[in-house]
């Protein structure tokens, strides 16, 4: 696990759906758990600028804690589809630049 904990993890949360508050709570719990395990982790409150935010934060692996329709929007799908290598869980993607 040492190799994975050295990667920068972005936890996607919030978003634009009506389930934003639930997603923020889930994302915060995931963020805290990953920090406690020694991961280099950043919370990303998802907006319309998600691709730029992920690249700007130098995210290498993404954990998707989004709820509702946010995860199904065209903009989010376009971003995640470029992160084509799923890792251990469906919630994770590797960055194409990482």
pLDDT in tens, 52-98: 888 888 888 888 888 877 555 544 555 554 544 343 334 455 555 44
Domain spans of the chain? 2-94
Whole-model pTM above 0.85? no
For the CA atoms of 8, 58, 67, 28, the dihedral, rounded to the nearest 10 degrees, stands at: 50
Three-state DSSP at 94 gives strand
Identify whether the C-beta of residue 13 lies closer than 8 Å to the C-beta of residue 24.
yes
CATH architecture classification, 2-94: 3-Layer(aba) Sandwich (3.40)
For the CA atoms of 30, 98, 50, 17, the dihedral, rounded to the nearest 10 degrees, stands at: -40
Any idea how long the chain is?
98
């Amino acid at each position: 696990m040492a190799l994975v904990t050295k990667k920068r993890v972005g936890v996607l949360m919030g978003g634009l759906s009506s389930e934003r508050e639930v997603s923020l709570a889930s994302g915060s719990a995931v963020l805290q758990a990953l920090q406690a395990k020694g991961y280099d982790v950043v919370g990303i409150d998802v907006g319309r600028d998600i691709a730029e935010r992920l690249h700007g934060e130098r995210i290498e692996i993404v954990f998707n804690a989004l709820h509702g329709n946010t995860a199904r929007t065209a903009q989010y799908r376009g971003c995640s589809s470029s992160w084509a290598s799923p890792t251990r869980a469906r919630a994770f993607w590797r960055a194409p630049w990482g």
